Amino acid sequence: MPAAIHSPASAEFEALLADLRQLAPELEAEDVSPMRQLRSMSDYGVMQWGIPAEYGGVELEKRDETFGYLQLASACLTSTFVLSQRAAAITRLVSSENQQLREDLLPKFARHELFTTVGISHLTTSRRHLGKPAVHAEPTDNGFVLNGTIPWVTGASFADLILCGATLDDGREILIFIEQSQPGITIGEPPKLLALNASRTGEVQLENVEASSAYLVAGPVEKVMKGNVGGVTGSLTTSALATGAALGTLQLLKEETASREEIAEMASPLYAELDALQEDLSYMLTHVAEELPEHLTTETIRQRANSLALRSSQAYLVACKGAGFVAGHPAERLVREAMFFVVWSCPQPVMAAAMRECCTF
């Protein structure tokens, strides 16, 4: 088994990236999941990232961990997206006051004995406009009974545990783990997406699901998602994945234009933009919010990362000409994957910036 990766700059990490690049096209097939890729990540110790050493984890510097995700996304966006949802659940658990739950689950997550994901988007952006909670929690003597629909869960069909967000009658919210195999849980058939179908992202229906208080991660409190979890670092993960998507595309574009000097010269601003974006991302990860200049915010970084991912993929398609438009070519896949960032965890300022860019000549 390879040595655990303690630095994304290590030779072991480069070997993992090469493995993921080779496997990435397989995820375009029907009815597949990224289990092989996740096992490979586990073999290289990536599943230990973000988990305290006392629970068997590897505590990387936040910059190294985030740039590790960036590099992973450059090799295989689908499996890295799935990994990011696991990381979101683990980050919440690490910050939980439920010590017994931390002791029970974190070592198993570090050893990749259990896989987890999150179903919490409905507490922030997804479906809040409907006026009633997507998932209702009724307190009981032993915990809560959950009813409703989690609209978006990534990897629910192959996850052992789902970190679910739910709302009580008084408006307070909870985050609680439920076991995927529990009675009353129905994993819906994932809808056909433009890209990343192997992530198996879709809805999960809950009917009188009994959730034990032993699995309670946070709450009941108002706005449970506003807890002190992740801070600037946590909110930059999506930007890191978008930047990674751009990086992977631009690496292929450089290969495609190596002998085409005129096109390579036209593409040079994209490489400079990527370098600047990575420098600013690194700066944000190594400084506290009070030290950041006004132009460096999580929203502006996300806007730039989204835009670069989209334009890089289109430039690569242009360079590949008609061959890139044929199903199965990396160019057409990367164009579709870049579109994902327009809709994934996209706050209003980022969405507005994307609309302005689309609608401005």
Domain ranges of the chain: 11-110, 116-226, 231-359
What is the reported pLDDT for 3?
Answer: 63
- Is residue 127 very low, low, confident or very high in pLDDT (cuts 50, 70, 90)? low
d(CA 70, CA 73): 5
Question: Would strands 143-154 and 173-179 be described as parallel, antiparallel, or unpaired?
Answer: unpaired
What is the reported pLDDT for 359?
Answer: 94
State yes or no: pLDDT of 8 exceeds 80: no
What is the reported pLDDT for 109?
Answer: 98
CATH class of 231-359: mainly alpha
% residues pLDDT > 90 (the chain): 84
- Is residue 205 very low, low, confident or very high in pLDDT (cuts 50, 70, 90)? very high
% residues pLDDT > 70 (the chain): 94
Beta bridge partners of 167: 136, 173
The string of pLDDT tens digits covering residues 11-33 is 889 999 999 999 999 999 988 99
Mean pLDDT, range 248-275, rounded to an integer: 94
What is the reported pLDDT for 332?
Answer: 98
What is the reported pLDDT for 132?
Answer: 84
- Is residue 283 very low, low, confident or very high in pLDDT (cuts 50, 70, 90)? very high
d(CA 312, CA 310): 6
CATH code: domain 11-110 is 1.10.540.10
State yes or no: pLDDT of 347 exceeds 90: no
State yes or no: pLDDT of 1 exceeds 90: no
Average pLDDT, the chain: 93
The string of pLDDT tens digits covering residues 72-81 is 999 999 999 9
Q: What distances in angstroms separate CA 260 from CA 263, 266, 269, 323, 331, one per listed residue?
A: 6, 10, 16, 16, 17
Mean pLDDT, range 140-150, rounded to an integer: 97
- In degrees and rounded to multiples of 5, residue 217 shows phi and psi of -95, -40
- Is residue 182 very low, low, confident or very high in pLDDT (cuts 50, 70, 90)? very high
- Is residue 345 very low, low, confident or very high in pLDDT (cuts 50, 70, 90)? confident
Question: Looking at per-residue confidence, does 131 or 183 come out higher?
Answer: 183
CB-CB contact of 78 with 196 (8 Å): yes
How many Cβ atoms sit within 10 Å of the Cβ of residue 292? 15
What is the reported pLDDT for 360?
Answer: 87
Structure tokens at 69: 């995700």
d(CA 318, CA 251): 15
**Domain 11-110 matches domain 231-359 at the CATH topology level:** no
What is the reported pLDDT for 10?
Answer: 79
Question: Looking at per-residue confidence, does 361 or 303 come out higher?
Answer: 303
CATH code: domain 116-226 is 2.40.110.10
d(CA 326, CA 335): 12
Q: State the amino acid at position 239 in one-letter form.
A: S
- Is residue 232 very low, low, confident or very high in pLDDT (cuts 50, 70, 90)? very low
What is the reported pLDDT for 226?
Answer: 84
